[in-house]
């Protein structure tokens, strides 16, 4: 006979307190550090995020520093993490905190939810971890652990099912140690109740509470509908060199990679007319290797061209940049194949 799931908090919290891995945002869980770490970890593995987190905190140690940071500094700190809207929202939220909350991140779940980029999960994580409030924080790890604990095969991609699981977790989060409870389930999901693998049930503190403990069936949970297939775009990326400088283009503020500087590129069908429209004339063209980048809804399949060119009349959204100046620009990782070539002897 299994023990009731409503009683998991004590064994979970005690397990977490003995097994938690040490990370900088756990050693000093100030609201600001917890917040920045949670936003960074939304699409990035912990190991990959660590150096970014340290650099971010050294450069912008307070909410006020983040609110006042020039955009180029901000994007440079985020370069390589992708999904730049996250850091833009982080800054907008910091400005709101300075304006509306006296420079201190609010401690109430509902107030946190009003800040740009903070959804239910992040609000729950900050409220519980940084302020000790009784709030659920349900991410993919928690959905998996809960689906296994309760042998729930309903589709976790469906909002009504997530809502139900969130309500269940909310009813179990303890008054004391809410942050340790939330981090405990996530930690369990990352180190014991593993995704896409047979979980290590024999090491699990919740074995006696789990409906599928030790069963092969655990591996098949949770159930997810397959995401839609991504659209494929064929693009031609240009490294245009004029007088030892490279041509960069600023993307429109709205949409994919909004407002970022990039290597000029077009859909491959329009590659032949592109240069004259940008205000340059090719003198010599060399083909570059192909590249590929996967965004959440679209895949770019890229071919590259290195073009030595003459300047005609540049359009305002373009800029010529020297090799030294280039270091101050955060080119999106989508262009890595070509920005690596730029580091070679092209300029
Ligand atoms: Fe996951 Fe196994 Fe623990 Fe159940 S007993 S929560 S399946 S690790």
In a domain, residue 111? The reply is yes
Domain boundaries, position 91: 5-137+168-191
Q: Taking residues 279-296, report their average pLDDT.
A: 92
260 and 187, same domain (yes or no): no
End-to-end alpha carbon distance in the chain: 71
Q: Give me the pLDDT at residue 38, please.
A: 96
Tokens of 101: 């909350």
Q: Find the residues whose C-beta lies inside 6 A of ligand 1.
A: 145, 148-149, 192-193, 199, 201, 204, 206-207, 210, 212-213, 218
pLDDT value for 311: 82
Q: Shortest CA distance to 136 belongs to which of 9, 46, 225, 307?
A: 9
pLDDT bucket at 312, cuts 50 / 70 / 90 = confident
Q: What does the DSSP assignment read for 127-139?
A: IIIIH--------
243-258 pLDDT, tens digit per residue, is 999 999 999 988 889 8
Q: Ligand 1: distance of its center to the CA of 12 in Å? A: 12
- Residue 330 has a pLDDT of 87
- Domain-located, residue 94: yes
pLDDT > 80? residue 121? yes
219 in a structural domain: no
List C-alpha distances in Å: 309 to 84, 265, 305, 329, 341.
31, 15, 12, 22, 17
pLDDT band at 1 (very low <50, low <70, confident <90, very high): confident
CB atoms within 10 A of CB 87: 24
The residues with which 242 forms a beta bridge, in sequence order, are: 245
Encode pLDDT of 48-80 as tens digits.
Answer: 999 999 999 999 999 999 999 998 899 999 988
Query: Is residue 93 in a domain?
Result: yes
Are both 176 and 318 inside the same structural domain?
Answer: no
For ligand 1, the distance from its centroid to the CA atom of residue 161, given in whole angstroms, is 20
Query: What's the CATH code of the domain at 235?
Result: 3.90.79.10
315, β-bridge pairs:
none
**Cα gap 341→339, rounded to integer Å:** 5
Burial of residue 95 (number of CB atoms within 10 Å: 0-12, 13-18, 19+): middle
User: What tens digit of pLDDT does each residue of 217-249 get?
Assistant: 999 999 988 777 899 999 999 999 999 999 999
Same domain, 122 and 52: yes
Residues 87 and 186 in one domain: yes
Residues of the chain with pLDDT > 90, as a percent, come to: 80
Same domain, yes or no: 186 and 266: no
pLDDT at 43 over 90: no
> What does each C-alpha distance from 107 to 35, 80, 94, 139, 327 come to in angstroms?
12, 31, 14, 20, 39
| Same domain assignment for residues 17 and 124 | yes
Residues 185 and 255 in one domain: no
Would the pTM of this model clear 0.85, i.e. be above it? Answer: no
Asked, for residue 63, whether it belongs to a domain, the answer is yes
Ligand 1 mean position, distance from CA 229 (Å): 31
Same structural domain, 181 and 287: no
- Specify the ligand 1 atom closest to the Cα of 145: 6
- Asked whether residue 248 falls in the same domain as residue 172, the answer is no
Q: Is 60 contained in some domain?
A: yes
Q: Is residue 209 part of a domain?
A: no
CA of residue 270 relative to chain centroid, distance: 32
* Domain identity same for 180 and 325: no
What is the pLDDT, as a whole number, of residue 180? Answer: 97
Residues 30 and 87 in one domain: yes
CATH code at position 39: 1.10.340.30
Same domain, 301 and 250: yes
Cα 10 to middle of ligand 1, angstroms: 16
User: Is 38 a residue of the active site?
Assistant: yes
Q: Per the domain annotation, does 144 fall within a domain? A: no
Number of domains in the chain: 2
- Report the atom number in ligand 1 closest to the C-alpha of 218: 7
Give the active site residue among 20, 38, 71, 344: 38
């Amino acid at each position: 006979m299994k023990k009731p799931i409503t009683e998991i908090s004590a064994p979970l919290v005690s397990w977490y307190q003995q097994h938690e891995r040490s990370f900088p945002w756990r050693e000093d869980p100030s609201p600001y550090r917890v917040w920045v770490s949670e936003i960074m970890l939304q699409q990035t593995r912990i190991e990959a995020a660590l150096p970014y987190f340290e650099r971010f905190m050294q450069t912008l140690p307070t909410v006020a520093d983040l609110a006042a940071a020039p955009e180029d500094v901000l994007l440079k700190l985020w370069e390589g993490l992708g999904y730049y809207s996250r850091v833009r929202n982080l800054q907008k939220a910091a400005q709101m905190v300075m304006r509306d909350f006296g420079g201190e991140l609010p401690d109430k779940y509902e107030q946190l939810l009003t800040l740009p980029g903070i959804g239910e999960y992040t609000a729950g994580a900050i409220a519980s971890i940084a302020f000790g409030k009784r709030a659920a924080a349900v991410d993919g790890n928690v959905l998996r652990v809960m689906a296994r604990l309760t042998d729930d095969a309903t589709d976790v991609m469906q909002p009504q099912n997530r809502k139900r699981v969130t309500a269940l977790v909310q009813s179990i989060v303890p008054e004391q140690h809410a942050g340790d409870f939330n981090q405990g389930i996530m930690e369990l999901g990352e180190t014991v109740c593993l995704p896409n693998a047979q979980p290590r049930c024999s090491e699990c503190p919740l074995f006696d509470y789990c409906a599928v403990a030790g069963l092969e069936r655990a591996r098949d949970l949770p159930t997810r509908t397959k995401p839609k297939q991504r659209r494929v775009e064929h693009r031609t990326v240009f490294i245009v060199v004029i007088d030892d400088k490279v041509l960069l283009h600023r993307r429109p503020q709205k949409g994919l990679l909004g407002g970022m500087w990039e290597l000029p590129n077009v859909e491959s069908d329009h590659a032949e007319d592109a240069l004259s429209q940008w205000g340059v004339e090719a003198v010599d063209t060399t083909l570059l290797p192909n590249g590929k980048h996967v965004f959440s809804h679209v895949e770019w399949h890229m071919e590259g061209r290195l073009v030595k060119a003459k300047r005609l009349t540049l359009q305002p959204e373009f800029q010529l940049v020297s090799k030294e100046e280039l270091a101050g620009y955060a080119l999106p990782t989508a262009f890595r194949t070509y920005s690596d070539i730029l580091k070679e002897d092209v300029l």
